[in-house]
A and B are shown apart, each in its own frame.
Chain A
Amino acid sequence: MKNFKLPLLTYIVLLVLGLILQFSFNAYIQILILQILMYSIASMSLNLVNGFTGQFSLGHAGFMAVGAYTSAFLSQTFPAFLETTHLFGFFIFSLIAGLIASFFGYLVGLPSLRLKGDYLAIVTLGFGEILRVFLLNIEPLGAARGISGIIPYPELGFLDRFWVSFAYVSFWFLVCLVFLWRITRGRYGRQFMSVREDEVAALSLGLSTTQIKVSSFVIASFFAGVAGSLYAHLISIITPTVFGFMMSVNIVVMVVLGGMGSFSGSIIAAAFMTVMPEVLRSLQSVTGIDLRMILFSLSLILIMIFKPHGLLGEHELPYFLKKMRRKKV
């Protein structure tokens, strides 16, 4: 337990923060906050594959779809289980969603991770599309209608639905962050990065590059599945089109924008990518025309021109805080 002092403290702070948010913001902003956390999980996990291991995957939304459909299907099939177990039931469903997604990750990764660069991107893109078309045609999973009326997170006494959702989503957010953060600061992080830097050299040092790539992919798919499961219960409705190509691209943009190899960068970028279109939405009422997507795209282009390695590059937030402190002294 002593090794989890900081994460636990952070969690407690987040829970208190959740209370403040519950009373000070409307439902619209609250759902945005939950979405930021959910997308952070997705982009941080993709950063492990794209940033640390250097494998360009474009099918992350596919794994989210697997997780979302698993969780939604389970909750529709066993609603009584959720009622008796409360959050624990949701936890079990998220876990199963993650495991099934990581199984898919293994199936897709094992053959396709032998490919490099663009080819891998095409295969993973193909996986996402195949899955989407597959879901469109499966009647028990709602086909094109998707699954609606997915059971949301419960209320607990005076703590409303937002707080419970926030507590639950930020729990997974912290698990994902701490897990990825810690495994990349040790032998596994070095393994991932060695594959990114030079596969031939890694092989000569006795590192099985295929195994390393597949495990990075499997871990990332697990958290993508969890993020999908969170999405299903937060939004209450999922359709195959939601998890299409655009969502995969969005998550890749978050990774690149935040900085390849920087988890805190991914979180910041996830917040930016979620909030920015909404902030610009209010502009429409002033100007009368919808400049939202133009300005949003423009801001992305400008960031990539002035910060080609992403907002944080390959460094984490503490690095910059330390640097700032040094400058002051």
Chain B
Amino acid sequence: MRALVGPVALRRVRLEPGRTALLVAGVALGVAVFVAVRALNQTAVATLGKVGQVAAGGAALVVEGGAGGVPLDLLPALRAVEGVAAAAPIVARFAREPVADQAGPDAADAPRVLVLGLDLLDPAAREVAAGRDVGVSLDPAALLLPRPALVAAPFARRRGLAPRQPFELFAREGRASFVVAGVFEPRGPAAEVTGGDLVVLPLGLALEAFGPEGRADRVAVSLADGADADGVAAGLRAVVAAAPGGAGLRVDAPGAGALQPGALLGTMQLGLTIASLLALVVGQFLIYNAMSIAVVRRRPELGVLRAVGASRAHLALLLLAEALAFGAVGSALGLGLGALLADAALGLVNAQVTQLYAMLDARRATLDASTVALGLLAGPLATVLASVPPVVSALTVSPVEAARKDPPRGRADRAVRALAAVGAAALLGSAGWYVASAGQSIPEGALLLVGVAGGAALLAPWAASRAVTLLRPLLARLGPTGALAADALLVRPGRAGVTVAALMVALGGVLAISGLVRSLERAVTTWVAQVLVADIYCAASNPLGSQGNTLLDAEQVQAALLEVEGVASAYPIRFVFEEATTRARGGDERRGQALVMAFDLAFLGDHSRIPVTASVDGGLKGAIARILERPADRVAISSNLARARGIGVGDRVTLRTPEGPWSPEVVLCVVDYSSEHGCVYVDLPEYRRRWSDPRANAFDLFVRPGADPAAVAADLRRRLGGRYDLFVTENAAFRRQVLVVVEGAFTVTYAMQVIAIGVALLGVVTTLLATALERTRELGVLRAVGATRGQVRRTIVTEAALLGALAGAFAAGLGAAMGLALVTRIVSGQYGWDLEYVYPWGQALWGGALATALAALAGALPAERAARLEVVRALEGE
């Protein structure tokens, strides 16, 4: 058997480079999308995790306090615990760099650096915090410089900085100046996360610049020789629990803190997971088609081999070995392509994660061992799986039949009907599950979507065949090319159906995501009109209030804003993800992140018309008044938090705060789309008191009666833009930006889906090449009886367009079903948003038209090949 591999299998590769390239490209693209999506997901999660681990690599234990941080005055008690060798406080923040000649925050993509604040004067602490991870070597004399900063060599090179030179970063009080006290080579997580854009400040200076003062983000603890980690952890927990302000702190191994990045990324991961699944399904179809073309090409050869004594098993192994080889080569290429794709899409993921969840500045997508292994396995596995049906069909016929140049027809009908029955059953099952469940988790939802998409894909070949049968009389009126195009699809319903199914699934995925975006947009459009009532919005380092803002000193900046002529009032807003524990009425306790939004709640009652879903006294103002009466014991929450956690007015939500768990009563539920994790609204003074945090992410401004908001905004930009890196946005523009964020949340998903459509279109090419190959003699006859090359071309292009149009039409239905499930079950079940599903009519129409046009375009190559056939050779079936 091995002797046949070279002459039979590999020589084909050399003789038919086009077919080989198509097959390998199909595998490579399928694997690339899968790998890229997985790498993006993992990079986001890992980078967020690494930010949490930065400068704690040398530690055995970490004391951390969530958003509130760890009070520095706990340090002596922590250091006194038996077995503790050193306890090193750490501050880690991202800061935007002012770019040259920047008069305001015009450079929205200005680079950011990671700023670490470390206790540089304590050698033991420095060893724990910096020795292994950051790689700082220090000349203590350098710290005598004013505002000294140790800068990583890549950052120094990029900025052209030398020792003793000053440089600026945006901090809580605007531009802050530092002096280069030394340059070091970064390593470990810090270098990985930042790509070398890293600055180390003495702890006190870091806290002064970025705040809040008196609190570190975490404390890294190293153990004395022979100390038992569990024992030390228990000792630390006892100290923490007994200390004032220590009740909210946790003692864990590094990286095992409360913030679980994977759980935080929510809809982004949902979108990418769906994209990845669909890409796999679509890729599998393409590989099936490509392998089937390979087998079609081989039929006569297989017949001859069988006639001269090769067994079916021999030939099956030969073909599967070839498939395996194609799969392996395609996988290897796909892995590289996936890495490039992931790198290209990384900027989008960074922006999306920063906007919605947490500051993320991943510089390079990383492929972990499992992704590499899965990517390398996916191609060969998919290729071999996809090869089985065509190989079986080629080998179950007699040698004489196989050797015939015209393969037998019509065998697929029964299989198509059987698959359709399975598909219909899957769709019915999915529909039943949809009706029976009120909401679903992401895994359940993914299963539901796979059920719908898989069912539709299995049904598609039969449905396509029925549709073409119905359309044939109409197409025949267009001339013989129309009828022949329809017939070509009817003769091999399996292959045509697979292509339709692949394109339908890819396009259906786009329409499902579009439906989700349209539904969110409609809900958010209504909501922003009711909620976003300020004349002007200001935020530092990012146009919207987001996790990418530089946190500003609220009082100082508020005062500066009020000094600008025309500004009547300025409301600071602080929001932070914090752990929230709830107990549903059935007794089910749930713990997870929630967005704590702290602002002057009177503002909510006085200015906004935010929709109320539940209130202690039936209205907005009354409930707000109740909170303001006892802000230490009452809060409002968003309706999606209430729904997702099964709680309501009268229940309590327990928030983790620096001073320990806080369990205020919920007196108001309002509609809010700020976070899929849900929001808890806390009166700002109460937040400041409990979290000891005087900073703000953003400010809502109202102008004086008669003042022109545009003129006031321009004045604000001129006077404060450059100083605080302040983005100043007027109301209408801000509303538009909010909608852009909704759309932007799915940019990466769209991008991956577009690639899936590209993969499906490659499927159109392979299908048409295969059918043209099988119909070589027919095409020869057509030419012999007088068809022009143009007519042959038109036949194939019409066939392609028909494939695209059918896929577009079916996708319109599939997209609706998947979109409905996504919006009304998965998003509502997972995030608690009660959205009304909006069908994306525009995209469906455009998508259908585009699929038809692109498929016709994809048909151009096979059409040209068919048109260029030599009549005599075609008649001989060669």
A binds B: no
Measured CB to CB, the residues of A under 8 A from B are none
Q: Please list the residues of chain B having a beta carbon within 8 angstroms of any beta carbon in chain A.
A: none
